[in-house]
Each structure stands twice: as structure tokens, then as C-alpha cells.
Amino acid sequence: MPELPEVEHIRRRLSDRIIGLEITRVLVRRADVIRLPVPVKARSKALLRNGRVKMLHRHGKKLALEIDDGRVVEFGLGMSGALLLEQVPSIPAATTHRHVIWSLLDPCGDQPMRLVWRDPRRFGGLRPVDSMRELRARFWSKIGPDALEIDEKTLARNLNETKRVIKTVLLDQRVLAGVGNIYADEVLHAAGLSPMRPADSLERTEIKAILRYLRRILDQAIEDGGSTIRDHQDPDGLPGGFQARHAVYGRPGGCCNRCGELIQSEQLGGRTTHWCSGCQN
């Protein structure tokens, strides 16, 4: 489900609401969503029980929750993962697939809350680690620079060293982290580049265009709370709004807002790809 803008929106929303709260209980209802082996005995500690929420981090599509003593849980949202924040008591909108539930309390002890990891398809997962340092060294260093931070030189180097088509390369998290199927298609349309172009054929000015629109589109999408095609919802259960601004994604057969040609849709490297044959070269 979520690409960089959805994850960043979730990070901001959660940061506003749970920093400083204490985690008093952790309930694991499906242990197999934990993606690092943790002995049952150590599980609730690894999942941050008795910690105070210090900070939320993001790299690409990964989200991490850090508590005061340094312990961290990383969340990979996969296709359908969601972090929901609920008052206690309340009647949850979604009652199924709630795999992990954290009980949160503010320092005054009033207003109890619940943070819920929900993931119907279970492509996502949780990774408990001892520190941000460990998370960065063992995991985040294996994927590329964050899409909002990558510089032109690095992007150019990463693109020019492969013959694969640009659409596929933008989805490769080792090249840059955070772009998925929606934003790859949107960025290529904005930049006027065909998704089938071999990455190593791109001129410097074309790479500059990719970078410019990458930043512009991701920023705009974050502002709009991300795109909700079907599942994406933020911690308050709210959908994003950026789907209303999609130029190509999800609009096959529609007409291009720039040149009026029909928008095409075809499988490319196993993913449905949307583009305009009139103005993307």
C-alpha cells in the first residue's frame, strides 16, 4: 500500500499524538508478524513495553518507533499495513486483522490510548532492534538514499549504471528508497519520460527533471495525506487526497492533461504501468 508520502504522513500524524506517551502493555495476537526471531520471554520488552515514546523515524517506506531507552521497532507496511490510534474506550471501525496492540498512557495517567498494528494481507511486518544505530547499520544501509534526500550526482550514478528500464529502476529500493508504483508513474509523466527508457540512456537534463518532479510530487502528496486507492488510512482512520491529482495512475483510457492523448496501461516488470504515449518520450 504505502509509498513514501503515505508513510511520512503517518509518521507526522503519529508524532503529533504519541511522543511522550508511555507504553504500558503490549498484546501480540499474531506472533508471525514479527520479522526477527524474538524468544517469547523477551517479546514484550522487544516490542517496547515500559518505554516512553521518544521519536518516529522514516527511511523510504520504512517507519521506526524509538523509545527513551533506545529500543526501536521498525514497521514495514507492505501492501495493507496500518497503524491506528484509538481512544480507550472506543468502538474500532476495523475489528479484524489487529495483530499487535500497544496500550499508551500519558504521564498524568488519564486519556488511555491504543496503537494498533493492522495488516489484513500480512505482507508487512515488525522488526524489533536494540537501537537506531543497529537499525541503520543492519537494515537501512542496505537500501538506497531516501527519495527526498538523494542528490543529483548519486541519482545520476545509480541510473547510469543499469540498462534496465527507468520505471523498474525507480521501484528498486536499493537505487532510491520510497518510490512505489503510483509515484514512479506520476514522476515519469511529469518529467515527460517514457517508462520504457533504458536508465542508462537518460541525459543529465532528463535526470534533473526526474529529481525535480520527484521532490515536487512527493512533497505535494505528503501535503495531501498521500494517495488512497483502497486501503491507505492514517492513524485517525482518514484517507489521503492525492489520488484526485493523479495524472496517469489509475486513469487508463482517460486523456492526458498535458497533450490530450489517451493514457496507456500495460504490465512492465510485473507491475501495471500508466503513461501517455503523446508526451512521454
Catalytic residues: 2-3, 61, 271
Q: Which residue has the cell 495525506?
A: 225
| Residue of the chain from 182, 202, 222, 247 that contacts DNA (CB under 7 A) | 182
Q: List strand residue ranges (DSSP E) for the chain, in order.
A: 22-28, 53-59, 62-67, 72-76, 82-87, 98-105, 113-118, 125-129, 263-268, 271-276
Rounded to the nearest angstrom, the gap between the alpha carbon of residue 42 and the centroid of all alpha carbons in its chain is 28
Task: Between 69 and 200, name the residue whose CB sits nearer to DNA.
Answer: 200
Is residue 70 at the binding interface for DNA, with CB under 7 A as the rule?
no
Is residue 231 at the binding interface for DNA, with CB under 7 A as the rule?
yes
Binding string to DNA for residues 188 to 217, with x set by CB under 7 A, is what? ------------------------------
Nearest distance, CB of residue 206 and DNA, angstroms: 19
Is residue 228 at the binding interface for DNA, with CB under 7 A as the rule?
yes
Task: Between 90 and 96, name the residue whose CB sits nearer to DNA.
Answer: 96
Is residue 226 at the binding interface for DNA, with CB under 7 A as the rule?
yes
Nearest distance, CB of residue 111 and DNA, angstroms: 29
User: Over the range 12-33, which residues count as b (16 or more CB within 10 Å of their CB) and which as e?
Assistant: bbbeebbeebbbeebebeeeeb
Cα–Cα distance measured from residue 14 to residue 205, given in angstroms and rounded to the nearest whole number? 38
Per DSSP, the three-state class of 37 is: coil
Q: Looking at residues 112 to 131 of the shown chain, list those that interact with DNA (rule: CB under 7 A).
A: 120-123
The cell numbers describing 75, all together, are 514497521
Task: Between 51 and 76, name the residue whose CB sits nearer to DNA.
Answer: 76
Task: Between 2 and 235, name the residue whose CB sits nearer to DNA.
Answer: 2
27 bridge partner residues: 101
| Residue of the chain from 131, 272, 277, 281 that contacts DNA (CB under 7 A) | 272
Task: Between 62 and 71, name the residue whose CB sits nearer to DNA.
Answer: 62
DSSP structural state of residue 255: B
Nearest distance, CB of residue 224 and DNA, angstroms: 11
Angle formed at CA 235 by CA 42 and CA 180, multiple of 5 degrees: 90
What is the C-alpha R_g of the chain? Answer: 20
Cα–Cα distance measured from residue 179 to residue 187, given in angstroms and rounded to the nearest whole number? 10
Is residue 180 at the binding interface for DNA, with CB under 7 A as the rule?
yes
Enumerate binding residues for DNA (CB under 7 A).
1-3, 6, 60-61, 76, 78-79, 96-97, 120-123, 162-164, 168, 171, 173, 180-182, 226-232, 240, 269-272
